[in-house]
Structure 1
Amino acid sequence: MRRGASLYLPFLPTDRIRRTERTNGGLPDSPLVTAQRLKQSMVLAAACRKALALGLVPGMPLTQVRAMVPGLDVRHADPAGDAALLERIGRFVVRRVTPLVATAGADGLWLDLTGAAHLHGGERQACAGLLRFCARLGLEARIAVASNGAAADALARYGPERLTLCPQDSEQAALAPLPVAALRIEQAIVDRMRRFGLERIGELAAVARGPLVRRFGKDVLLKLDRALGRAPEPFDPIVPRDAPAATLRFAEPIGGAETIARAIGDLLDELAERLREAGLGARALLLVCERVDRQQQRVAIGAARATRDKAHLLRLLGRRIETIDPGFGIDSMRLVAVRTEPLGATVLPGDFAAPKPVPDLAQLIDLIAGRIGEKRLYRFSAVESDVPERGIRRIGPLDTPIPWPDAWARPPRLLPRPEPIDNVVAELPDAPPRRFTWRGRTYVLVGGDGPERIYGEWWRHGRERDAVRDYFHVEDESGARFWLFRRGDGEDLRTGDLSWWMQGGCG
């Protein structure tokens, strides 16, 4: 008994943008649409649920959309980014749910659950797990299960429930009330059918096959037969690419550091060739040493930039040889590129008068990170947020940071989170403090500037709807400068409890 499922992501383009902005601290809840160029005009490509509620429909001219909703958040459509995310989800489903998964258009997946659903507690539990996975990614999803992929796809896209399980041999009854567009028929043919009074699949299935073919073509009949299980559905499965790897087995167990280093060099030769054939570079390598007692020794290294440089990778792995305990000997070694990125040819300047190239710091960064740890080497980048502790994030050492706006003066040192200060002497509502105690030390201030008022981000948390912070730049008797804020505007207790906090300072 064959069972197929369809996972439908109705708002994949906008959900993907929201997911990225949520990670970077952006605004996640405003109506959002994407636009693309069609011939000589820009049209709406996708819309989120809130935008659809405003009457916006994909295909509308962008000028009409902006006239209907002034100030609407419009982004450029990115079909390649949507397809990449969909493929990543498909590879996850291949690894965790069923090995037979295929893309269903640009916003869905087909799954062959035959013989796999019972491994996850049944069809309902398997489908519910996929819905929870999509929810964790910030993606709205619907799913349906039927005897074939076409019927499951129609129920997932047009069915009344978010999770639909169609019993075996009940597809015709389940599909009968759905619109004919659920069969993935062209819109022009759907409009023609509507003029003949054919709006539901049940009505279409009741029409004689001969007149149906003469009026609407063979393609309509083929799609109807596929949905009813009378014709097969093409299935092009997603085949996950194995991580490039190289394996070396020894006739006799090895244990010396020099022998291990030579073996690593041989593994890197083989791995570099495989990466070169695939046009990839390694960002992370995992060395697995299998000992004679069946215990494993693992060594992991990372690179700030994709590379196939054997000498550099050998230098990084060589520094970690001392962490390998060979025990009674190592039987085999395996080197896996667990993270790769496309790596093409490097363009070298051919003009002798060209300016001196900027030195590449990637190898130096890798060496430093190998000594102190990757998480301790980073840069700071600004994030679009009014709240200071949310307005900055860590990025990779080679990533390009977003500078802080020049109009917003900020101290060079911000605390990871504000710290409370005590014994504050200040005049309400707008005067800077004259004295405070922080970390057990009392500071007497000689000057101050402010306040700079920052309001809570009500679109993130409802409790920040009335929140207010008043910030002050202050200086003490020794010349040290601090950046303080008071919760509340000094008049209305709904805006804050009038407590004082340390946000950062100079030095």
Structure 2
Amino acid sequence: MARVVSLFLPRWPTDRLRRASADAPPRDIPLALSGHDGRRVVTALDTAAEALGIRIGMPAAKAQALAPSLVLRKADPWADAEALDRLALRALLRISPMVAADPPDGLVIETSGADHLHGGEARMLDRLARSLTRAGIEARAAVAGSWGAAHAAARFLARRTTVVPPGRDEALLRRLPVAALRLDSETARSLRTLGFDLVGDLLDRPRAPLALRFGPRLVRRLDQALGLAAEPIEPVREARIVEIRRVFAEPIGAPETIARYVDKMVGALCAELEARGLGARRLDLLFHRIDGTRQAIRAGTARPARQAGHLTRLFREKIGAVEPGFGIEAMALAAVLAEPLGARQAVSPLAEEPEADLSDLIDILASRVGEHRLCRFAPVESDVPERSVARISPLAPETGAGWESRWPRPPRLLPRPEPVETMALLPDHPPVWFTWRGLRRRVRRADGPERIRGEWWKRDAEMAAVRDYFRVEDEAGERYWLFRSGDGERPESGSRRWFLHGIFG
């Protein structure tokens, strides 16, 4: 089932200008852009300018008279479109193989089969919107079953992110204005004049009179929004991307046939990569079906690679998910992300056994569960236990750091300390018993305390903070790592509450 994301950038021209120009005004000063439409009018504005009553289409002279503090700059639609294409290329590398610009103020992304690699649709949209907000770009995003429905939800619902459940596109569209169908302003105005205010008013009418009165475009937009008519996304590409295309005289559809051509195309791509001294980091395989729709498969590698056998194996695991429909008429394999990769010296069987290379295994796991779920832990110089470990890439180089401590640390450290109920003598005695997650455990043995002080050189609030850690063993032989917040004497050192922070064994 198709799932399409529409990314809406309502302040794209002004946001782009502020990011690109060193002399752009700060965000607390209203900014508007002007262009010529027979006369000089406002074509874009930021939130501060809108709050002053400035509107798009207003004469520039009137806007400046209405708001003397307004900064008015010349619009540059060509630069806006070029920057939007660059943003689409970044989304292509990070989100999905099917990304295209949706001028003048958005992107369209097909995420069918790719959302699980980002933690689900809701998390994917939230991360996308947050990353743009941190970059100073106002953004709203929606995912639905069609380009038209997602486009309408992103622009006509006052939410930062919207997930339209499968099968609910029509219910959403019914309550939106007719302008949500991506119609030209003249058609939308004529529909409102005739009493068609909502899309639902159109859906309840016969199609033939609508097509006769307003032309086929209105009916086509309705069908595209409902997912009844194909609206293929032409993914963005840049000139330096290495790509292999194969067009078939007769459509293909059998998995065995698809796999055979994948083998051939991967071999040709690897030869081209070798000629350029490159290795692939991210590969997209696109299937062009005869009904005008496209499907895509993405594979990634932890390191630059051009071993045909390994890259073919990554794609073979996903070929079963391809739905050829009435047939596939063309395939395209592109290395959308490639890095320099020199020639490797062959290892002689008489030489010493080489170090194990886990990159192939990591690539296979990443293609199945997502890159964000793979990591390893590295030590960080910090006295506070939860700050002494960091997640890094599975193949990241060794930092050379280690955990220095005379006291043992539990192999399982909880994401955050969990409060427990205890009974203990102050100030230096371990608990006699503790209750964690509703189960009381009687302590049989204990060792401690190990005192850990706050990192006062980082935060003033930790100047007097103290933790006293104990290793305890219950009657069942399970061992835990507990600490008391504070030294048990001075109130400013901590709350005297007890917490469980780790589990041994």
Tell me the TM-score normalized by structure 2.
Answer: 0.51
Aligned-residue offset at 1:258: 1.4
Partner amino acid, structure 2, of 1:323 = A
Match of 1:378 in 2: 375
| Residues 252/340 of structure 1: CA separation in 2 closer, same or farther (3 Å cut) | same
Match of 2:184 in 1: none
Could you tell me how far apart the structure 2 residues matched to 1:377 and 1:443 are?
34
Could you tell me how far apart the structure 1 residues matched to 2:239 and 2:426 are?
65
- 2:381 is paired with a residue whose SS is coil
Aligned-residue offset at 1:366: 2.9
Pairing of 1:51-450 with structure 2 (within 5 A): 96=83, 136=134, 242-348=240-346, 352=350, 354-401=351-398, 402-405=401-404, 407=406, 409-422=408-421, 424-450=422-448
- 1:494 is paired with a residue whose SS is helix
Aligned-residue offset at 1:503: 0.9
Aligned-residue offset at 1:334: 2.0
Deviations 1:452-487 (A, max 9, x none): 222334565554444332211112223221111122
Q: State the number of aligned residues.
A: 291
Match of 1:208 in 2: none
Which runs of no fewer than 5 residues in structure 2 stay unpaired?
A: 1-16, 24-78, 87-103, 106-129, 137-237
Deviations 1:30-88 (A, max 9, x none): xxxxxxxxxxxxxxxxxxxxxxxxxxxxxxxxxxxxxxxxxxxxxxxxxxxxxxxxxxx
Aligned-residue offset at 1:504: 0.7
Could you tell me how far apart the structure 1 residues matched to 2:353 and 2:468 are?
49
Could you tell me how far apart the structure 2 residues matched to 1:255 and 1:349 are?
41
- 1:490 is paired with a residue whose SS is coil
Match of 1:455 in 2: 453
Match of 1:470 in 2: 468
Aligned-residue offset at 1:376: 4.3
Could you tell me how far apart the structure 1 residues matched to 2:427 and 2:241 are?
62
Could you tell me how far apart the structure 1 residues matched to 2:80 and 2:339 are?
22
Partner amino acid, structure 1, of 2:416 = R
Match of 1:207 in 2: none
| Residues 337/417 of structure 1: CA separation in 2 closer, same or farther (3 Å cut) | farther
Match of 1:174 in 2: none
Deviations 1:320-358 (A, max 9, x none): 101111122223222222332321122345694x42223
| Residues 323/97 of structure 1: CA separation in 2 closer, same or farther (3 Å cut) | closer
Partner amino acid, structure 2, of 1:448 = A
Could you tell me how far apart the structure 2 residues matched to 1:361 and 1:98 are?
36
Partner amino acid, structure 1, of 2:443 = L
Could you tell me how far apart the structure 1 residues matched to 2:315 and 2:501 are?
41
Partner amino acid, structure 2, of 1:482 = Y
Match of 2:482 in 1: 484
Match of 2:180 in 1: none
Q: Percent identity?
A: 47
Match of 1:29 in 2: none
Aligned-residue offset at 1:95: 5.8
Match of 1:128 in 2: none
Aligned-residue offset at 1:436: 0.1
Could you tell me how far apart the structure 1 residues matched to 2:330 and 2:349 are?
49
Aligned-residue offset at 1:286: 1.8
**Does 1:495 find its partner at 2:482?**
no
Aligned-residue offset at 1:297: 1.6
More off after superposition, 366-375 vs 269-278: 366-375
Aligned-residue offset at 1:438: 0.8
Match of 2:146 in 1: none
| Residues 313/98 of structure 1: CA separation in 2 closer, same or farther (3 Å cut) | closer
Aligned-residue offset at 1:287: 1.6
Aligned-residue offset at 1:441: 1.4
- 1:266 is paired with a residue whose SS is helix
Deviations 1:384-412 (A, max 9, x none): 22222222122333334543225453111
Could you tell me how far apart the structure 1 residues matched to 2:239 and 2:259 are?
29
Could you tell me how far apart the structure 2 residues matched to 1:487 and 1:277 are?
62
- 1:327 is paired with a residue whose SS is coil
| Residues 93/459 of structure 1: CA separation in 2 closer, same or farther (3 Å cut) | farther
More off after superposition, 371-380 vs 315-324: 371-380
Partner amino acid, structure 2, of 1:366 = D
Aligned-residue offset at 1:253: 2.5
- 2:267 is paired with a residue whose SS is helix
Aligned-residue offset at 1:378: 3.2
Aligned-residue offset at 1:314: 0.8
Aligned-residue offset at 1:241: 6.6
Match of 1:193 in 2: none
Aligned-residue offset at 1:377: 4.0
Could you tell me how far apart the structure 2 residues matched to 1:275 and 1:428 are?
68
Moved over 6 A (4+): 3-6, 132-135
**Superposition RMSD on alpha carbons, in Å?**
3.7
Pairing of 1:34-45 with structure 2 (within 5 A): none
Which runs of no fewer than 5 residues in structure 1 stay unpaired?
A: 9-91, 100-118, 121-131, 139-239
| Residues 299/441 of structure 1: CA separation in 2 closer, same or farther (3 Å cut) | same
Could you tell me how far apart the structure 2 residues matched to 1:408 and 1:286 are?
49
- 2:431 is paired with a residue whose SS is coil
Aligned-residue offset at 1:426: 0.9
Partner amino acid, structure 2, of 1:96 = A
Deviations 1:172-216 (A, max 9, x none): xxxxxxxxxxxxxxxxxxxxxxxxxxxxxxxxxxxxxxxxxxxxx
Could you tell me how far apart the structure 1 residues matched to 2:456 and 2:318 are?
49
| Residues 137/498 of structure 1: CA separation in 2 closer, same or farther (3 Å cut) | farther
| Residues 405/137 of structure 1: CA separation in 2 closer, same or farther (3 Å cut) | farther
- 1:434 is paired with a residue whose SS is strand
| Residues 266/437 of structure 1: CA separation in 2 closer, same or farther (3 Å cut) | same
- 1:289 is paired with a residue whose SS is strand
Tell me the TM-score normalized by structure 1.
Answer: 0.50
- 2:488 is paired with a residue whose SS is coil
Could you tell me how far apart the structure 1 residues matched to 2:250 and 2:256 are?
15
